[in-house]
Amino acid sequence: MSLFETGSYLASSSRRPAVPSLFVRVFAVGVATHILAYTASAIDLWLHAVTSTVVQPTSVPVNEPFQFSVAQNTCLPYVPPAAGAFAWPCLLAITRGSWGYGIGALTPGMQVMSNNSGVLQTITLADADDLAVLVDPSAPTNVSFTATTFGARARCDSVNPRCTSPETFNVTCKDVPARFPPLNVTDFDLSDSLSKMSVLSSACDTCPYVNESEYSNGAVTYKTGAPPPQNNYSLWLELIWRNQGSESFDGASKTAADAAYTAFSSEAYMFANCTLLFYNVTLEYANGAYTRAAEVLADAGLADGLVGPTRLGLYGSRLLDNLEGIVFGGNSTAHVMAYLNQDLARLALGSAAYVTNLKGPTLAQSVLSRRILGRYPAWPAVLYVVVLWANAVFPLTVSLVAMLTRTRRIVVAGERQSVTALELAKMRLTRPAALAAELFKWKTDEDGAKASASGTVRGMFDEQRQGEDRVRIGLHERTDGQTVFGVWSRRRGHGRLMDSLGEKECSD
């Protein structure tokens, strides 16, 4: 029998006799429990239908350090020599033009500057004020670590606004070193090389510089006959570009007073004063990207060792070519100078790779992984929890109330045992016809079996015989308040008036 049929029967007083209130309360409890259970199932289905999945990154600490820190080589840092003597612990000879001795010492820096090294790479960190650092390019993306390395910053100022600039290359500049080559750019022939770069590594007049003619032809040498530089951290750069054919610079309309460089139709030049600073840097690496954790200015010994290669200008051709693309495009002064700062710092630091091509242990490390999590929307999840609690608390509350209140018992005459009204209501809800078949004597066994096997509401509660009025089976409260269980027949033509065919009284 369905819940709807049972509820309809109980709600219709014309289809049943009056029943005790306990029976109605038991039925109401059953309906409420049924509704709560199915409500919880429905909300559970809804919750899983609207649930989404998210991928959450997580990390697992590793005890064994990774080898992703950059360490200093055994090569000693540069030490300025005594008067009349040469001392080049890494830069072995002033005329050799290499950092260290032979091609083995020159190669690491050239590979790093050309971004062709599997050991080291120079990068500019984002949001770190143009700090260039040496990093290990082989670090996988599924790890995170904290490592130590070396860094550099370059600060360059264009001195072109100090120079007079007629539409020739006969340039006169104020407040620049007298020996800076060649202030009169007509002193050398641009036809030998389209572009040239000259470097003066100290502001003193007697300091040597790279001979621009030899440098433009691929040979990097110091001008001899002068003492070593006294200031390795201050550089004066002269960069001259010349275009072939009829192509002209986009920046041809810029003037020397408001531009980082000065451009004619097919020629451009820049004078710049740069300062280099070197640092000990602590980096954090995660998801394939480096961020700065801390930086400290390097001590004099380490800084001298790192800055030494800048005097040789090994980075010159790359800096000249890299910057030429920016100049050709007619970019703003701020853009040109920002690129010069970043590129010079990367190339200067990379040229010292012979000193820094060792690996060191990381300070902290972990392996990154991902896990898939279910994300439940707030309202369905809260509603589901509330219904679950209600589904758990409601039966407990009913049980507690039943334990603390009186329960009516029904005594059946001639029987030694009595049954509570709650048990009787349960039997009536489940098999009322079978209960009637057991309590009453039928004329034939066939009638009793028929009543017991009835499968409909009418068959269970209303027995219809040919030529007779409908009968009712169940609990009934008489006008005197006595609860009885019995069988009644509706009186013809009198509506709800019933004649008792047999009944048993129920007592507390």
pLDDT of amino acid 22? 62
Span 397-435, pLDDT tens digits:
887 887 777 666 656 566 665 666 566 666 555 555 555
Q: How sure is the predictor about 222, in pLDDT bands with cuts at 50, 70 and 90?
A: very low
Q: How sure is the predictor about 296, in pLDDT bands with cuts at 50, 70 and 90?
A: very high
**Entry pTM:** 0.58
Given a cut of 90, whether residue 297 has pLDDT beyond it is yes
178 shares a domain with 126: yes
| Rounded distance between C-alpha atoms, residue 286 and residue 81, angstroms | 44
Given a cut of 80, whether residue 121 has pLDDT beyond it is yes
Q: What's the domain count of the chain? A: 3
345 shares a domain with 493: no
pLDDT of amino acid 214? 41
149-153, 205-209, 286-290, 331-335: least confidently modelled range: 205-209
88 shares a domain with 40: no
395 shares a domain with 447: no
In this structure, is residue 25 part of a structural domain?
no
What's the whole-number average pLDDT of the chain? 71
In this structure, is residue 108 part of a structural domain?
yes
427 shares a domain with 381: no
User: Measuring CA to CA, which residue among 297, 294, 282 is closest to residue 145?
Assistant: 282
Given a cut of 70, whether residue 163 has pLDDT beyond it is yes
In this structure, is residue 345 part of a structural domain?
yes
Span 65-107, pLDDT tens digits:
999 999 887 655 445 555 544 444 454 444 333 345 556 667 7
10-14, 45-49, 363-367, 375-379: least confidently modelled range: 10-14
99 shares a domain with 46: no
User: Measuring CA to CA, which residue among 470, 462, 471 is closest to residue 433?
Assistant: 462
> In the predicted model, what is the mean pLDDT of residues 151-169?
78
pLDDT of amino acid 320? 86
54-63, 311-320, 438-447, 460-469: least confidently modelled range: 460-469
341 shares a domain with 247: yes
Last residue of a domain, one of 320, 349, 368: 368
In this structure, is residue 26 part of a structural domain?
no
Given a cut of 80, whether residue 61 has pLDDT beyond it is yes
> In the predicted model, what is the mean pLDDT of residues 441-467?
55
323 shares a domain with 228: yes
132 shares a domain with 109: yes
In this structure, is residue 275 part of a structural domain?
yes
pLDDT of amino acid 381? 84
Residue linked to tokens 């070593």: 228
| Rounded distance between C-alpha atoms, residue 151 and residue 99, angstroms | 18
In this structure, is residue 288 part of a structural domain?
yes
Q: What is the DSSP string of 125-181?
A: PTTSSS-EEEE-TT--TTEEEEEEEEEEEEEEEE-GGGEE--SSS--EESSS-TTST
149 shares a domain with 162: yes
In this structure, is residue 206 part of a structural domain?
yes
Task: Give pairs for 10-15: CB < 8 Å, separation 24+.
Answer: 13/496, 14/496, 15/461, 15/462
159 shares a domain with 40: no
439 shares a domain with 381: no
pLDDT of amino acid 146? 95
pLDDT of amino acid 417? 59
pLDDT of amino acid 462? 45
Full residue range of the structural domain in which residue 278 is found: 61-368
pLDDT of amino acid 152? 95
